[in-house]
Chains A and B, each alone.
Chain A
Amino acid sequence: MARAAIQRRLNWHLAEVLDVVRETPRASSVVLDIPDWPGHLAGQHVDVRLTAEDGYQAQRSYSISSAPDEPRVTITVERLEDGEVSPYLTDELRTGDRLELRGPIGRWFVWDEEDGGPLLLIAGGSGVCPLMAMLRQRAANASRVPARLLYSARDLGAVIFRSELERLGTGGGLEVSLTLTREPSPDWTGYGRRVDAEMLADVAWPPERMAVTYVCGPTPFVETVAESLVALGQDAGRIRTERFGPTGG
């Protein structure tokens, strides 16, 4: 799909839910069959619209975690305890249900092989979801673009896509670093603190490598990471961010 896509209208689609896969206690992937789906770029999201029997509607945005070339579109959703839409998607929705959505949305926070690399991905919590689409696409294309993922989660149980990331990170030019912000077990060999400048200096390539960088997570996380990267000499113009507030749904 060409980057300079024609400006086309984003119509609502009625997707069929093929599966709802529990990824962690709080996050689920919803696998969808979307008739007439125009295809997407890694990093894009969809708007989901729920309608109650009396016509009341609620909309939220969710990242696509599947690669563009996969036959099915998957969104991965973290349940917010006081959320209006996310608990429905993670706990109520089941195979055979239909889900109204439109997309793909966002042509800025996207990566494909033409964007080159090296590729630096930094995720906080469910911010890993759009980055996963990029890693899945990179793997599907057997891309040689070197890639590094630094992923911050509360604890090991909250790491979304954990086994797949372990597999993808074994050879193939992808290095995966995890950091756990709650006290990890004594045998944990990864990082065990919030992402800071020292950790970023460890993980990032030197500025002269001109990495393309994508940062996604809660606002304070993204602020800290993006500012630290700029302070380390990384080109601000090559850092793309996507943030979500604590008050989503």
Chain B
Amino acid sequence: MGFVSRGFRGRRREGESSRRLPTGQYLTGGFPVLSAGPTPHTPLAEWTFTITGEIDQPRRWSWEELQALPAESVTADIHCVTKWSKFDTAWRGVSVDTLLDGVETAAEYVMAFSDGGYTTNLPLDDVTGGRAWLAFEFDGQPLEPQHGGPVRLLVPHLYFWKSAKWVRGLRLMQDDAPGFWEGYGYHMYGDPWREQRYSGD
């Protein structure tokens, strides 16, 4: 038998909610915030979203152009590497598939980049196939700046630091490279179901 913490009983969850909670996570009803610096505020008139890197002709959308694209409603469980999980979060946004439609690229990875200098790396396969969105609504309301508004990347199947706040573009890359937290020791991929929190997990 392994180590037991003397006197610890804990607060188990039974049934469905325990199956939906990855190892090491706890359920929260709130929406905690984690970011590395001050919250940026880019006026919508200046906001653009760009796809650059391994692509013949970079693509760019203004706020109005993004709003004109077909949007989807997404309900997903989210898991933060700082241990909280939140079930059934409701978002609205544009699928990354829509933005990449018709793009020819040799890239296998993307680097999401954001206002304030934040970056995070993901395999291209993880932001395509209906698994990633540019989200601009949360719970039916415009996404608040402290939660990443006006637009954040939403990739709910990975730890939530991969869902870059204040996202402004994707750089298509042939090779993987660490983003911001990944350069500070966090995992390059970040699958909560394999508890890939830190480098080497």
- Give chain A's interface residues, CB within 8 Å of chain B: 5, 7-10, 14, 47, 49-53, 55-61, 84, 88, 92-93, 97-100, 105-109, 219, 223, 226-227, 229-230, 236-237, 239-241, 243-249
Contacts and interface: CB of A to CB of B under 8 A. Distances in A.
Interface in B35-94: 35-40, 82-84
Contacts of A9: 198-201
Interface string B160-175: 0000000000000000
Determine chain B's interface SS by DSSP, over half rule: loop
Contacts of B146: 219, 223
Contacts of B197: 47
B100 interface: no
A248 B25 CA distance: 11
B2 A51 contact: yes
5 contacts: A61-B82, A237-B37, A245-B84, A248-B32, A248-B84
B129 interface: no
Nearest to B28: A247
Given A243-B33, A245-B28, A56 B38 contact: no
A229 B39 CA distance: 11
B24 to A, nearest CB: 4
A51 B5 contact: yes
Contact of B39 (A52, A99, A227): A227
Interface stretch (B8-16, B102-110, B131-139, B150-158): B8-16
Contacts of A52: 4-5, 8-10
Contacts of B30: 245-247
Q: Which 6 residue pairs of A and B lie closest in terms of their CB atoms, listed nearest first?
A: A245-B32, A9-B200, A226-B38, A7-B199, A107-B184, A247-B30
B130 interface: no
B148 to A, nearest CB: 13
Nearest to A54: B12
A88 to B, nearest CB: 6
Contact of B117 (A47, A57, A84, A237): A237
Contact of A240 (B5, B34, B36): B36
B140 interface: no
B142 interface: no
Given A7-B185, A100-B5, 7 more contacts: A5-B185, A51-B8, A58-B11, A84-B10, A93-B7, A223-B39, A247-B28
Contact of A59 (B40, B83, B116): B83
B98 interface: no
Contacts of A249: 26, 83
Contacts of B9: 52
B19 interface: no
A19 B7 CA distance: 17
A107 to B, nearest CB: 4
A49 B24 contact: yes
A53 B7 CA distance: 9
Contacts of B200: 7-10
Contacts of B23: 57
Nearest to B116: A236
Contacts of B82: 61
A10 B185 CA distance: 10
A211 B3 CA distance: 45
B194 interface: no
A249 B10 CA distance: 11
Q: Which of A59, A61, A237 has the most CB of B within 10 A?
A: A59
A100 to B, nearest CB: 6
Nearest to A84: B11
A124 B161 CA distance: 24
Q: Which of B23, B26, B38, B39 has the most CB of A within 10 A?
A: B38
Contacts of A243: 32-35
